[in-house]
Structure 1
């Protein structure tokens, strides 16, 4: 009986850590987007600008790319952030709709439409929430599909409505670039992180919560 209780407590603690991880990555992009309130269509980015702090999750470091802001086509003045993160050798996709009281159920779909006419469906691995969070550990085939094709539209299904975001040519370039950067990036296993990234964040007044993080369960 004691073993079962101990195991249950351990699972609950792991789940709590997982919930905190995703919130960290998305929240950093969310705050930046709230400050800027513009979509990322002006120019493509050519530097990787990957961020890795000294924080750890379950004794492992993680890294993330800058977030991109997508304008919601069917809801005026609303934006969605898209961001990629990496822990161990796994890459994660994070989406957040910048609107209040938007509830997304676990396993609810996100459809990605390509200019070729093909559509892929991604399942949400983030628990039921009304903060408009979507998180998924990406499979190699899914990442390759994003890299090899131009996205025309991303559709997020929620209880309130379906949110549609058109993706520009510049934004496609950024998505391809950041996937390549993160795929090649080796997450550091020591406390040595790039100070220049910290300096850039300070200059840009970026803010990142210290502990609020979430990570979908690794497969």
Structure 2
């Protein structure tokens, strides 16, 4: 049902916003919309990391694999923050699990011969790369989300207009043409998209990079 805007605002106890100079342009500026889409995409991009970590924990349990491959020690010696955070998340998922091998100083023991020249061991020595290196891969996405988050926070709390007027002077306001409408959000989105896809994600592209 269509209604006059003034009537709908009145019914909800809302006052019309009185825009000042150039504020209307700010609301429809393409840079603002790109920043808004980038913030929404950023908020959703953490979900694939969480799903990947949960699936890594589940697969480790299905294989009866060693939980110690996600212990803090290896990641202290390659201290990327996202990698360490991803390993910690997997450890939390595996906490209390009875389906993983627990840390032990005992080397694996031979059980019975299999093919000529080979023996079977009573436990896994290590899991495949796709499991024990999962924090290294997912961590890149987590690190990317950390710095793109800081970048976007600056972008959405700053000016997207050009020119700017410096009024903090005693004479006539100084006009500054510095390109502050440059779409940094687009560059941020492109960087995050590359890491998101590297982690196995997919996306819907809205708009085009300039």
TM tier relative to shorter chain: under 0.3
Bigger Rg over Cα: 2
Structure richer in strand, relative to its length: 1
- The structure carrying a bigger helix percent of its residues is 2
- TM-score, normalising length from structure 2? 0.27
TM-score (norm 1): 0.26
